[in-house]
Amino acid sequence: MPVSKHKIYEDVLALFCGALLVALGLALFKNQGLLTGGTAGIALLVANVVPVNFGMAFFLINLPFYYLAITQIGKSFTLKTFISVTMVSVLVEKIPLLLHVEVESPAFAAVVGGLLIGMGMLVMFRHKSSLGGIGILAFYLQNKFNIRAGKLQLVIDMGILAVSFLIASLWIVALSVLGALVMNMIVAVNHKPGRYNGGYGPAAGVMSQPPAGQN
């Protein structure tokens, strides 16, 4: 049975909610000096070693991946991903002005932050969007070679966190790994091929081309 497309207002609301969840999770991570995987993790690393804020680093790092998205996945996915990345970049910098986040337990920040980011990513995936970068690569490889997005991102995330040993303590890296495991568990458990029928991307199984009207 075919599944109807999401309406524009549904996509707008979902992408905002997804971006807000991700930004809140990243705010918890930043509060405790934790790192994460994916493009956000790379941006956090960059923000720790060069004089640029996370939002700008996250936005700029994603730019080269849009070519892969628009040529291999489709214009609709690329536009939605660009919107999601832009909203996360802005919200992460604005949330401290609107909400004071103070967490006593770094382990709590790792677990709850990972849950929030994972749920935000899940919302984005189900509306044919992503956090860009590694998410775009995961979309493409699952569509093309049926490589599970959650498992691929976990491997890449562990590599990014391994590099964080250069700037963070063992305890911070260990908690960051915990947060990444929670985040990827949410994606892997809830985002299996075929579970969310219709569309394209990891939740839709293997599709070599996006549906008609989606590019």
Lowest model confidence (mean pLDDT) among 84-98, 103-117, 146-160: 146-160
DSSP state of 164: G
Whose tokens are 């918890």? That residue is 28
Instruction: Please report which confidence band the pLDDT of residue 162 belongs to, taking 50, 70 and 90 as the band edges.
Output: confident
Identify the CA nearest to 138 among candidates 157, 123, 112, 163.
Answer: 157
Instruction: Please report which confidence band the pLDDT of residue 35 belongs to, taking 50, 70 and 90 as the band edges.
Output: confident
Question: Region 143-169: what's the mean pLDDT?
Answer: 78
The per-residue pLDDT for range 98-139, each reduced to its tens digit, is: 888 778 889 999 999 999 999 998 999 888 888 888 878 877
Both tokens assigned to 134? 């590694």
Phi-psi region of 169 (alpha: psi -120 to 50; beta: other; left: phi over 0): beta
pLDDT at 68: 85
Identify the CA nearest to 204 among candidates 195, 154, 32.
Answer: 195
pLDDT at 150: 65
Specify whether the CB–CB gap between 172 and 34 falls below 8 A.
yes
**Mean pLDDT in the chain?**
80
pLDDT at 192: 62
Helices (H), 63-169: 65-72, 75-98, 106-126, 134-145, 149-163
Measured CA to CA, the distance from residue 70 to residue 215 in angstroms comes to 8
Burial class (CB in 10 A: 0-12, 13-18, 19+), 212: exposed
pLDDT at 206: 26
Both tokens assigned to 173? 């890296």
The per-residue pLDDT for range 167-199, each reduced to its tens digit, is: 888 898 899 889 988 987 888 788 665 555 444
Both tokens assigned to 120? 């935000």
Identify the CA nearest to 149 among candidates 200, 202, 196.
Answer: 202
Identify the CA nearest to 84 among candidates 12, 187, 190, 185.
Answer: 12
Please state, for a pLDDT cut of 70, what percent of the chain lies above it.
86
Per-residue pLDDT for 67 more than 50?
yes
